[in-house]
């Protein structure tokens, strides 16, 4: 039996969708304008920069980026063309590849980060009170915890 959304849940759901779309579009516009890269590429560079040796297996990177292998492979190919990432065979499994953040990629990320953080602050955090920020963190944590294992 379908558990339909009541009026309050429907309003909250639509507000959530509109908010996430507005934030994502603002972040993508800012990064395209100021750094010449889409938000997806920025998130790949961040993931690699935070990994040991600034390297990660492609399948793990796809999982972290919430992307399909083929979509991630296409994005990494574009990042390779810019000299920001290189792919190398995996030492432990020759069928796999490792994406490695280059020094040029790290520099591009470091250059893009201040504008990105300013945009995140402006379009999300500046709109919230400290109490709302704590509540948002709790909400995000609860949803992510429930979703663990449901999506791959």
- Tell me what pLDDT residue 152 has: 44
How many percent of the chain have pLDDT more than 70? 97
The 8-class DSSP code of residue 53 comes to: G
Say how many domains are in the chain. Answer: 1
pLDDT level of residue 104 (50, 70, 90 thresholds): very high
Whether residue 46 contacts residue 109, with contact meaning beta carbons closer than 8 Å, is answered with yes
Residue 138, number of CB atoms within 10 A of its CB: 10
Distance, in Å, from the CA atom of 63 to the CA atom of 6, rounded to the nearest integer, reads 33
pLDDT digits (tens, 9 = 90+) for 89-101: 988 777 789 999 9
* pTM of structure: 0.88
In a domain? residue 94: yes
Whether residue 87 contacts residue 105, with contact meaning beta carbons closer than 8 Å, is answered with no
In a domain? residue 24: no
CA 58 to centroid of chain Cα atoms: 15
- Tell me what pLDDT residue 147 has: 77
How many percent of the chain have pLDDT more than 90? 84
In a domain? residue 126: yes
Question: What are the structure tokens assigned to 89, written together?
Answer: 């065979």
Q: What is the CATH number of the domain that holds 36?
A: 1.10.10.10
pLDDT digits (tens, 9 = 90+) for 30-43: 999 999 999 999 99
**123: domain range?**
30-147
């Amino acid at each position: 039996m379908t558990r339909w959304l009541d009026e309050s849940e429907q309003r909250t759901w639509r507000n959530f969708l509109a908010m996430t779309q507005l934030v994502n579009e603002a972040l993508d516009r800012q990064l395209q304008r100021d750094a010449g890269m889409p938000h997806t590429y920025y998130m790949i560079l961040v993931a690699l920069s935070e990994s040991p040796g600034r390297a990660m297996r492609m399948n793990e990177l796809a999982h972290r980026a919430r992307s399909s292998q083929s979509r991630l492979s296409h994005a990494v190919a574009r990042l390779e063309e810019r000299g920001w990432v290189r792919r190398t065979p995996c030492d432990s499994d020759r069928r796999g590849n490792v994406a490695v953040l280059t020094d040029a990629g790290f520099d591009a990320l470091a250059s893009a980060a201040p504008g990105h953080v300013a945009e995140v602050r402006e379009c999300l955090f500046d709109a919230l009170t400290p109490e709302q920020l704590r509540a948002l963190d709790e909400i995000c944590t609860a949803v992510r915890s429930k979703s663990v294992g449901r999506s791959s």
